[in-house]
Each structure stands twice: as C-alpha cells, then as structure tokens.
C-alpha cells in the first residue's frame, strides 16, 4: 500500500479515535473486574442485589460501545489503512470481538445471562441434594441456548468449535482434540502402571493441623520467594481462589484449610503464576489488546508452569522447606525428598477434579470434554450424562462415582453456560511443559532432557540450580521476554512458535511426566 503522507495522517487520526474507543471499553471491563474481586473478597453478604445491577450496567455499556456502528466503521477504515504490526494486531483482536458480539442478538445474550443467573442456585441445590433431575431441565436449556448462540456466530461451523473459540480463539479445535486424545491414550496406561507399582512414596509429610494465620504468613513467604511485586498486588482469601487485575494491580487470592497445608502452598503458587503473567504485560499497552493477556490456555500455562514445573520440583522443596520450617517447626523432620514425594503423589481413587494430582487431572478434563462435545452436537442427551460420566470414570480412571454430587454435578462450569472451557485447563498444562522445556533449553537444565544428547562443555546457566537457590529472576525474565510482554500482539500459535521454536505439541508434557513419574514410581 502506498504511504502517501496525507493518507497516513488520516489513518493516524482514525487509529487514535479507534484507540480511545477501545481504551474506554477496556476501562469499563477493568472496573467490572474490580467489582467482581470486591464481591468475592470483601463485599458484605447482603451487597449482592446492588452489585448485580452495577455489573449488569457495566456489561451492557461495554457491549454497546463495542457493537456501536462507529466501531464497525472505524474497523473497516483501519483494515484498509497502512498500519504498524502492533496496530494491525489490535484491529485483528477487536474485529474478532466485534464480529462475535454483533452476530448474536441481544435478546439471546440476555436470555443466556438470565438463565445462567438462575442456573447457579439450581445447580448448587441439585449438588447439595445429589439430585441431577432438578438440574437436568436447566442444563438442557443451556445446551440449547449455547447451540443457538454458536449458530449465530457461525452457522457453518461445528457449534462446539465456536464455543471453544470463546475461550481459546486461535488454537483450532482439531489441534486441541489431538492433544487431548494423546493425553488420554498415554496417561491411562501410565496411571495404570503407577497403580500397579509397589513404590513406597512418602505421603504423610504434610499431614497435621496448621493454623490459618501461619498458613497465610507462609503464603506470603511463597509469594516473596517467587518475586511477586507487592507494590502492584496483594494477597487475600476467597472461597474459590483466583487472581485478577491488570499490569498495574494484579491480585492473588488463596484459601486455607487446617488440614491441607500443601494445598494452600500449591494453590498460592498457581495463582502467583496467573498474576505474574498479568504483571508482565507492558504498561504502555494498558487499555488495548497489546496490554492484555492471551487467552485461557496461555494463562493456564503460566499458572501450571509455576505450580508444577517449579513448585512440584525437587529443587523447589530444597529451597522452600527451610522457609516453611520457620513457620511450622513440626516440619523439622520432613526431608525435601519427602516433601517432593508428597507433592507428587498420584491418587488412584480420586473422583473430584479440583483435588486431582498432576496426572489424573487430565483424565477428568478429557471426560468433560468428550461429554460436552456430544452434548452440544446433540449426540448425547442430557438425561444420559450421569451414566456416561460414571462409565467414563470407570474406564479411564478405574473408579466409579456413587453419587452425581461426586460425579457430573461436581463442577460449576456448565451452570455458567461454559462449554468448551474445560479443555483449556489441560492445554495450559501441556503448553507449560513446552515453555518450560524451551526455558531450560536456553537457561540450562541440570539434567539434559532424555531426547537430547549431552551438550558437552559449552558454558551455560542452570535453571534447576536457580530454583534450588530461590533465584527466579532468570526464569521470569525468560517468560517476560518470550510470553508476557507481547500481550495479544501475536495469536496463540504464533506466540508458541516464537517462544519455543515449534508448533504446539504434547511431546514435552508427555516426556516430562514419563520421566518424573517413571522415576518416582520406579517404572520401566
């Protein structure tokens, strides 16, 4: 395209107008984020009716700003203009959202919103009473509405692919499906081998009763140790831990249970990973997609990288156990190796996703993925969900839920109308392994990966050694440079390719778990 100065100046003006419009939308969204944090963390119990109205108002203002004719006109003009790469990325991201939001009639959006608002208490009650029947009609309604929603967005596409793209717009469903199938095909036999193993892991390292206040102090130690920037964050408790915010203010929540010290440590590390990604977004991108994190899988890759590859590693426990002993002298007799084993025990009889270990977790996800795909395609009736759910648990994990409360009613997601969300948890773990391998490649690792020839005498750092010494700056620097700082400039596949030199693959994850659990459980 020719770069006639007058034309280019006009493009600058148009872009400036466009930018100020999307900054506005972004500020409304970030304000809503603070209101949601407040609601989960500090709001008095009776504040709900007013808060619901405030959030609904902000959400409809944001929708109106985005879908206004002016936005569409600006997009069209900018798509014909001579833009920088960054500007093009911003236009691409806004176009995506614009097309989605303008394609779905507002009445349908409102119907979904009302149905999910009522679905939540219905689901909660059904779970409490272990009564799937009372939730079934709502679930049917939600499936139907989301199918309709997908049809509006793209009448020619697989509706589940459309819904999945809501959470993970740039990884196509085929790729996701291939990865999940590989996880199923390789993890099922691995877990069976582990079940059959007579390795004697230390699993009582963290048993006992641990005071809440001391657990909180330790959670702060965890965050200090990982390098959390307290001037841009804070730690609170919430019934369902989460992290949220912007690069200027990314907060972590966690929770404490007296008998689960290990859980609060790993959950805090997990949320640190999310917040740390947000804090790595560029300050000057605030208000546009350049300053926003990529989608759910990439976010989850950051939390899982810290939780699993750092926090469930031997060197981490060599580093962190002495810190934990300061708060809890009863850990005096626990060795780093015992802590490592306790943090990596595979539970062969667990039915609950959120309590699952690093391996079986993915089978919980595969089951949900397979079921929701068929629900949306119409190949599975809602009334058959409990049976199919239980059969799959038996097939993949060797355990059968005795109630729906500990079966298909356990998760909140479907009551939110979220279909296509679950897979991003597993994809994030898989990506975490790929990224961590690339970081090790560049920063050095203690043991060269199995697939790699020893690299001889060239000097290099050592990531394991860093973790052992509680030095996380190098790793974080690598993540900042290769992932965080890019915001949404690249699509997810581009980002992965640039960071790791390869397309998205499950190879590294499977190599990592084979090596780690093979050694832990004395497998072949």
* CB of 233 or CB of 336, closer to its own copies: 233
What is the chain's percent helix, strand, coil content, to nearest 5? 70, 0, 30
CA atoms within 13 A on the CB side of 47: 13
Provide the 3-class DSSP secondary structure of residue 253: strand
Going edge to edge, which strands form the sheet with 249-254? 235-237, 249-254, 243-246
* CB of 27 or CB of 197, closer to its own copies: 27
* CB of 251 or CB of 480, closer to its own copies: 251
* Three-state secondary structure string covering 423-464: HHHHHHHHHHHHHHHHHHHHHCCCCCCCCCCCCCCCCCCCHH
Q: Could you say whether residue 21 binds its own copies (CB under 8 A)?
A: no
Residue pair 503/179 in contact (Cβ under 8 Å)? The answer is: no
Q: Could you say whether residue 248 binds its own copies (CB under 8 A)?
A: yes
In the complex, minimum distance from the CB of residue 249 to its own copies, in angstroms, rounded to a whole number: 4
Map residues 273-292 to x or -, x wherever contact with its own copies holds by CB under 8 A: ----------x--xx-----
Looking at 95, 234, 400, 413, which residue binds its own copies (CB under 8 A)? 234
* Three-state secondary structure string covering 26-62: HHHHHHHHHHHHHHHHCCCHHHHHHHHHHHHHHHHHH
Region from 55-63, 299-307, 450-458, 502-510 binding its own copies, contact rule CB under 8 A: 55-63
Residue pair 505/326 in contact (Cβ under 8 Å)? The answer is: no
In the complex, minimum distance from the CB of residue 283 to its own copies, in angstroms, rounded to a whole number: 8
In the complex, minimum distance from the CB of residue 59 to its own copies, in angstroms, rounded to a whole number: 11
Please choose, from the candidates 415, 355, 338, the residue with its C-alpha nearest in 3D space to the C-alpha of residue 132: 415
In the complex, minimum distance from the CB of residue 43 to its own copies, in angstroms, rounded to a whole number: 6
* CB of 20 or CB of 207, closer to its own copies: 20
152 is in an annotated binding site: no
| Bridge partner residues of 237 (DSSP) | 254
Q: Could you say whether residue 233 binds its own copies (CB under 8 A)?
A: yes
416 is in an annotated binding site: no
Region from 26-34, 211-219, 386-394, 411-419 binding its own copies, contact rule CB under 8 A: 26-34
Q: Could you say whether residue 23 binds its own copies (CB under 8 A)?
A: yes
* CB of 107 or CB of 457, closer to its own copies: 107
Which run of H or of E encompasses 243? Answer: strand 243-246
292 is in an annotated binding site: no
Query: Which residues, at least 6 apart from 441, have a Cβ–Cβ distance to it below 8 Å?
Result: none
Query: Which residues, at least 6 apart from 142, have a Cβ–Cβ distance to it below 8 Å?
Result: 112, 115, 116, 119, 414, 415, 417
Choosing from 166, 271, 341, 370, the catalytic residue is: 271
In the complex, minimum distance from the CB of residue 41 to its own copies, in angstroms, rounded to a whole number: 9
In the complex, minimum distance from the CB of residue 213 to its own copies, in angstroms, rounded to a whole number: 12
* CB of 279 or CB of 331, closer to its own copies: 279
271 is catalytic: yes
Give the residue numbers annotated as catalytic, written as ranges.
271
Question: Where along the sequence are the contacts to its own copies (CB under 8 A)?
Answer: 23-24, 27-28, 30-32, 34-35, 38, 42-51, 53-54, 56-58, 61, 229-234, 246-249, 251, 283, 286-287
Mark the binding-site residues for Zn(2+), compressed into ranges: 270, 274, 300
């Amino acid at each position: 395209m020719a770069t006639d100065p007058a034309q280019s100046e006009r493009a600058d003006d148009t872009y400036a107008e466009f930018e100020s419009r999307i900054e506005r939308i972004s500020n409304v969204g970030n304000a809503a984020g603070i209101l949601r944090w407040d609601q989960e963390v500090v709001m008095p119990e009776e504040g709900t009716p007013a808060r619901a109205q405030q959030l609904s108002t902000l959400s409809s203002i944001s929708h109106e700003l985005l879908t206004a004719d002016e936005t569409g006109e600006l997009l069209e003009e900018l798509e014909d203009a001579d833009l920088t790469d960054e500007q093009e990325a911003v236009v691409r991201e806004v176009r995506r959202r614009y097309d989605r939001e303008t394609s779905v009639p507002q009445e349908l959006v409102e119907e979904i919103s009302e149905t999910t608002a009522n679905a939540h208490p219905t689901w909660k009650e059904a779970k409490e009473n272990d009564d799937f029947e009372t939730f079934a009609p709502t679930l049917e309604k939600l499936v139907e509405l989301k199918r309709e929603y997908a049809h509006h967005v793209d009448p020619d596409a697989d509706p589940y692919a459309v819904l999945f793209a809501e959470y993970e717009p740039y990884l196509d469903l085929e790729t996701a499906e291939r990865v999940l199938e590989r996880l199923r095909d390789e993890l099922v036999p691995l877990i069976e081998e582990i079940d059959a193993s007579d390795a004697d892991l230390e699993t009582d390292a963290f048993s006992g009763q641990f005071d809440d206040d001391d657990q909180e102090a330790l959670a702060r130690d965890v965050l200090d140790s990982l390098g959390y920037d307290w001037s841009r964050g804070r730690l609170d408790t919430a019934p369902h831990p989460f992290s949220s915010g912007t690069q200027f203010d990314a907060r972590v929540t966690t929770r404490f249970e007296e008998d689960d010290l290990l859980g609060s440590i790993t959950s805090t590390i997990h949320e640190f990973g999310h917040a740390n990604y947000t804090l790595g977004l560029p300050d000057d991108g605030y208000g546009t997609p350049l300053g926003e994190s990529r989608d759910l899988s990439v976010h989850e890759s950051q939390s899982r990288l810290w939780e699993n590859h750092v926090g469930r590693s031997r060197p981490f426990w060599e580093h962190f156990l002495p810190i934990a002993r300061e708060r809890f002298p009863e850990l005096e007799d626990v060795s780093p190796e015992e802590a490592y084993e306790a943090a990596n025990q595979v539970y062969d009889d667990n039915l609950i996703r959120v309590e699952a270990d690093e391996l079986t977790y993915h089978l919980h996800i595969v089951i949900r993925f397979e079921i929701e795909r068929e629900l949306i395609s119409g190949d599975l009736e809602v009334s058959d969900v409990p049976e199919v759910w239980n059969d799959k648990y038996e097939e993949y994990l060797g355990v059968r839920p005795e109630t729906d409360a500990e079966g298909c009613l356990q998760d909140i997601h479907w009551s939110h109308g979220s279909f296509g969300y679950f897979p991003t948890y597993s994809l994030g773990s898989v990506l975490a392994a790929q990224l961590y391998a690339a970081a090790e490649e560049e920063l050095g690792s203690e043991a060269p990966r199995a697939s790699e020839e020893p690299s001889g005498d060239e000097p290099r750092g050592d990531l394991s050694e860093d973790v052992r010494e509680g030095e996380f700056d190098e790793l974080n620097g690598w993540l900042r440079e290769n992932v965080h700082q890019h915001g949404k400039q690249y699509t997810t596949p581009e980002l992965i390719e640039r960071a790791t030199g390869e397309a998205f693959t499950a190879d590294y994850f499977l190599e990592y778990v084979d090596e780690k659990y093979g050694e832990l459980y004395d497998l072949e």
